[in-house]
Amino acid sequence: MAPVKIKQPSLSLIESYKKMLLIRRFEEKAGQLYGMGKIGGFCHLYIGQEAVVVGVTATRIPGDQTITSYRDHGHMLACGMNPKGVMAELTGKRTGYSKGKGGSMHMFSKPENFFGGHGIVGAQVPIGAGLAFANKYRKTNNVSFTYFGDGAANQGQIYETFNMASLWKLPVVFIIENNQYAMGTSISRASSTPKLYSRGEAFNIPGELADGMDVLEVFKAAKRATSHCRKGKGPYILELNTYRYKGHSMSDPAKYRTREEVQNMKDEKDPIENLQKILLRQGESEENLIEIDQEIKAIVSEAAQFSLESSEPDISELYDDIYIKNDG
Amino acid sequence: MVDEEILMPALSPTMEEGGLAKWLIKPGDFVKAGDIIAEIETDKAIMEFEATSDCKIKSLLVEEGATQIKVNTPIIALEIENSQKLSASMKTAKITSEPKRVETKGPTKKTEIKKPSSKKEEVMTVRESIRDAITEEMRIDESVFLIGEEVGEYQGAYKVSQGLLEEFGMGRVIDTPITEHGFTGLAAGAAFAGLRPIVEFMTFNFSMQAMDQIINTCAKTLYMSGGQMNCPIVLRGPNGAASQVAAQHSQDFAPWFSSVPGLKVVQPFSASDAKGLLKTAIRDPNPVIFLENEMLYNDPLASSNVDEELVPFGKARILRQGSDVTLISYGIGVKHALQATILAEEKGISIELIDLRSLRPLDYASIFSSVKKTNRCITIEECFPVCSIGNHLSASIMENIFDYLDAPVINCTGKDVPMPYAKNLETAALITVDEILTAIKKVLNHS
8-state DSSP, B331: T
B192 closest CB neighbour out of A97, A131, A164: A131
Q: How many residues does chain B have?
A: 447
Buried b (16+ CB within 10 A) or exposed e, B258-280: bebebbbbbbbbbbbbbbbbbbb
Give the A window 223-242 contacts with B, CB below 8 Å: none
Complex prediction ipTM: 0.94
Chain B residues within 8 A of A157 when measuring between CB atoms: 181-182, 185
Q: With an 8 Å Cβ cutoff, are A328 and B283 in contact?
A: yes
Q: What distance lies between CA B282 and its chain's CA centroid?
A: 18
Residues 6+ apart with CB under 8 A from B83: none
pLDDT in tens, A40-67: 999 999 999 999 999 999 999 999 999 9
By CA distance, what is B213's nearest residue in A?
A123
* CA separation for the pair B50, B24 (Å, rounded): 10
Contacts of A120 in chain B (CB under 8 A): 212, 216-217
Mean per-residue pLDDT of chain A: 95
Distance of alpha carbon A26 from alpha carbon A32, whole angstroms: 10
Element (H, E) at B91: helix B88-92
A244 within 8 A of A28, measured Cβ to Cβ: no
Cα–Cα distances in angstroms (integers) from residue A236 to residues A171, A215, B389, in the given order = 8, 19, 46
The pLDDT tens digits for A229-282 are: 999 999 999 999 999 999 888 888 888 999 999 999 999 999 999 999 999 999
How near does any CA of chain A get to the CA of B227, in Å?
A: 5
Instruction: Provide the H-helix boundaries in chain A.
Output: 13-35, 50-57, 73-78, 83-90, 124-137, 156-167, 187-190, 215-230, 259-269, 271-281, 286-309
pLDDT at residue A327 above 70?
A: no
Strand B377-380 and strand B410-412: pairing? parallel
Contact yes or no for A119/A41 (Cβ under 8 A): no
Q: What integer pLDDT is reported at residue B80 of this predicted model?
A: 63
Question: In whole angstroms, what is the distance from residue B61 CA to residue B81 CA?
Answer: 20
Kindly give, in sequence order, each residue whose CB lies less than 8 Å from that of residue B175, ignoring residues fewer than 6 positions away: B148, B149, B150, B151, B152, B153, B154
Q: In degrees, to the nearest 5, what angle opens at C-alpha A156 toward C-alphas A154 and A160?
A: 125
Give the list of residues 6+ apart from residue B140 with CB closer than 8 angstroms, or none: none
Domains of chain B by range and CATH?
2-88 (2.40.50.100), 123-305 (3.40.50.970), 317-444 (3.40.50.920)
Model pLDDT for residues A111-130, shown as the tens digit of each residue? 999 999 999 999 999 999 99
User: What is the pLDDT at residue B52?
Assistant: 80
Backbone angles phi, psi at B288, to 5 degrees: -125, 130
- CA A145, CA B443: separation in Å to the nearest integer? 61
For the beta carbon of residue B296, count every other beta carbon within 10 angstroms.
Answer: 24
The burial of A80, by beta-carbon neighbours within 10 Å (0-12 exposed, 13-18 middle, 19 or more buried), is given as middle
Indicate which of A1, A121, A127, A167 best probes the interface with B, i.e. most B CBs within 10 Å of its own CB: A127
Other CB atoms within 10 Å distance of the CB of residue A177: 28
A318 touches B: beta carbon within 8 Å = no
Q: B225, B235, B310, B360: which to substitute to probe chain A, counting the most A Cβ within 10 Å?
A: B225
Chain A 54-73, residues with CB within 8 Å of chain B CB atoms: 65, 67
Helix, coil or strand: residue A133:
helix
Angle subtended by helix axes A124-137 and B180-192, to nearest 10: 60
Sequence letter at residue B287: P
- The ranges of chain B with pLDDT < 50 are 1-2, 83, 85-114
Where on the phi/psi map is residue A58: left (φ > 0), alpha (ψ -120 to 50), or beta? alpha
- Answer whether residue A134 shows pLDDT above 80: yes
B310 secondary structure, DSSP code: P
CA atoms of B161 and B327, how far apart (whole Å):
33
Whether A127 sits inside 8 A of B261 (CB atoms) is: no
Q: What are the pLDDT digits (tens) for A137-176?
A: 999 999 999 999 999 999 999 999 999 999 999 999 999 9
Rounded Cα gap, residues B110 and A91, in angstroms: 65
Closest Cα in chain B, distance from residue A323 (Å): 6
- Can you tell me the distance from the alpha carbon of A127 to that of A66, in angstroms, rounded to the nearest whole number? 11
Q: What is the C-alpha to C-alpha distance for residues B430 and B446, in angstroms, rounded to an integer?
A: 25
Q: Which residues of B are catalytic?
A: 180, 249
